Amino acid sequence: MSEELLFGDLKVIDMSSWIAAPVAATMLADFGAQVIKVEPPEAGDGYRNFALMPSSPTSDVNYTWEMDNRNKRSIALNLKTDQGRKVLQQMVAESDVYITNTPQAMRRQWGLTYEDLAQINPNLIYASLTAYGEDGPERDREGFDLVAYWGRSGLMDLVRAPGADPAPAIPGMGDHPTAVSLYASIVTALLSRQRTGKGSHVHTSLLANGMWSASCIAQGVFAEADFTLYHHLAARLFTRLMYEAADGRWLQFSMVRTDEEVDMLFTLIGRPELLLDPRFIDAENRVMNGDVLVQAMREALITQPSDYWMTALTEVGVPVALVGTVSELTKDPQVLANPMTLTPTPEVGMPGVIKHPLNIDGLASCPPGPAPELGEHSKEILAELGYSAEDIASMESQGVI
């Protein structure tokens, strides 16, 4: 099968942990890359335990690990030892891509910077993920997406109802899109190498991706825009707020834009008198008197269940949306009609796995196979590097693997 896949001949070292960097490797594996995940013995990647934590939805399947580390092999390698680092260097010499989010200080200490590994393999694509960027006073600072992507970028401050406290993101919300950025950097570098014959250092950060996600508003800061009106109107734009229906579901009206749609909305919710109220006669007045309008809409929409409103408003062309819940995704007709999930092999233990958002028609990909057990392939990988059974036994006894 590997000969039929785009990256079937690509050798990748996944020297990373948790989500964003490893998922970039998973995306390469989906298109056939031979990915070796390097983990510390005994503890392994801490993400192995995420789905098992009390704060995660409970399941007999380690579902996040299976989703984000499918189709890889694992070597448990103690990089605190000289022998362990020697093995990694041998792997680097034979690889095309090296993906890492190892803390920068540790990379320098262990000789695992781009400059170090480029001497071993000048053709290597060295893909680096950091929390805050490759340079600057915080280049060595560690961070998760909840902090570096969500909190530091300004997203946490922006994405909240007026007057509400800042809220944390859900785990992985910034990691998974950041993985796409890292994957795109790697694929761009591979194309460059194909044309120039040279490897390269590619990198992105959680902070950079958070800023990119916030950029429709954040760019205004760099344009020295005046935010006074933006903040002042935040609670007055009725299309920006959510409205609760009688069944506890929430409705969105973000796409209501024309006077005709507004007029039909007022009529259907049983408040035709709003049509004649000069405070709501046009878009400008609706904004200036938004606090009154929002209250009127809340009082009207709470009187009927969401199904009623979705049917009645949709029939007359008012753009209304129901705020979804994750429990509905497995039956969502749009999810089912499009390649948003994959059917894994039986060993995975789940009927479906959420797919990354890349779609290339006609390009073959691997079905999601099981994620590796810690060190499951250590001996196999060492044998491929030329180590004898005696050598491997010795490294095992010394705690190298």
pLDDT per residue as tens digits for the range 25-84 = 999 999 999 999 999 998 999 999 999 998 899 999 999 999 999 999 999 999 999 999
Q: pLDDT category, 197, cuts 50, 70, 90? A: very high
Please indicate, yes or no, whether residues 27 and 144 belong to a single structural domain of this protein.
Answer: yes
The pLDDT assigned to 284 comes to 87
Counting Cβ atoms within 10 Å, is residue 316 exposed (0-12), middle (13-18) or buried (19+)? Answer: exposed
Please indicate, yes or no, whether residues 282 and 343 belong to a single structural domain of this protein.
Answer: no
| pLDDT at position 1 over 60 | no
Cα(28)–Cα(71) distance, rounded to whole angstroms?
10
Which of 322, 356, 386 is the C-terminal boundary of a domain? 322
The pLDDT assigned to 240 comes to 86
The pLDDT assigned to 229 comes to 79
Beta strands 250-252; 353-354: pairing state: unpaired
Tens-place pLDDT, residues 43-56 = 999 999 999 998 89
| pLDDT at position 95 over 60 | yes
The percent of residues in the chain predicted with pLDDT above 70, rounded, is 99
Cα(339)–Cα(331) distance, rounded to whole angstroms?
14
Q: Is residue 9 part of a domain?
A: yes
Distances (CA, A) of 255 to 159, 240, 298, 299, 321: 18, 9, 18, 21, 9
The distance of Cα 114 from the centroid of its chain, to the nearest Å, equals: 25
Q: Is residue 231 part of a domain?
A: no
Please indicate, yes or no, whether residues 30 and 55 belong to a single structural domain of this protein.
Answer: yes
Count the alpha carbons within 13 Å of 61 in the hemisphere toward its beta carbon. 15
Please indicate, yes or no, whether residues 128 and 53 belong to a single structural domain of this protein.
Answer: yes
Across the chain, mean pLDDT equals 94
| pLDDT at position 100 over 60 | yes
Q: 44 Cβ partners below 8 Å, 6+ apart?
A: 74, 76, 374, 375
Torsion from C-alpha of 321, 209, 352, 327, nearest 10 degrees: -40
Please indicate, yes or no, whether residues 316 and 369 belong to a single structural domain of this protein.
Answer: no
Q: What is the CATH number of the domain that holds 254?
A: 3.30.1540.10
The pLDDT assigned to 2 comes to 41
Please indicate, yes or no, whether residues 203 and 288 belong to a single structural domain of this protein.
Answer: no
- Going by C-alpha positions, the residue among 366, 364, 372 that lies closest to residue 347 is 372
Q: State residue 263 phi and psi, 5-degree precision.
A: -60, -45
Which of 267, 287, 322 is the C-terminal boundary of a domain? 322
Q: Is residue 353 part of a domain?
A: yes
The pLDDT assigned to 104 comes to 95
Q: Is residue 220 part of a domain?
A: no
Query: Are 247 and 253 contacting, i.e. CB atoms less than 8 angstroms apart?
Result: no
Please indicate, yes or no, whether residues 162 and 86 belong to a single structural domain of this protein.
Answer: yes
Tally the domains of the chain: 2
Tens-place pLDDT, residues 111-168 = 999 999 999 999 999 999 999 999 999 999 999 999 999 999 999 998 887 778 999 9
Please indicate, yes or no, whether residues 147 and 71 belong to a single structural domain of this protein.
Answer: yes
- Going by C-alpha positions, the residue among 329, 317, 163, 157 that lies closest to residue 241 is 163
Please indicate, yes or no, whether residues 289 and 388 belong to a single structural domain of this protein.
Answer: no
Q: How confident is the model over 334-341, as a mean pLDDT?
A: 94
The pLDDT assigned to 201 comes to 98
Q: How confident is the model over 94-101, as a mean pLDDT?
A: 98
Please indicate, yes or no, whether residues 36 and 161 belong to a single structural domain of this protein.
Answer: yes
pTM: 0.91
Its domain, for residue 73, covers: 2-214+338-397
Which of 322, 355, 370 is the C-terminal boundary of a domain? 322
Please indicate, yes or no, whether residues 250 and 313 belong to a single structural domain of this protein.
Answer: yes
Query: Coil, strand or helix: which one is 136?
Result: coil
Q: How confident is the model over 302-306, as a mean pLDDT?
A: 97
| pLDDT at position 377 over 90 | yes
Q: What is the CATH number of the domain that holds 110?
A: 3.40.50.10540
The pLDDT assigned to 132 comes to 97
Tens-place pLDDT, residues 230-289 = 877 766 788 888 999 999 999 999 999 898 999 999 999 999 999 999 999 888 888 888
Please indicate, yes or no, whether residues 303 and 349 belong to a single structural domain of this protein.
Answer: no
The pLDDT assigned to 283 comes to 86
| pLDDT at position 176 over 90 | yes
The pLDDT assigned to 59 comes to 93
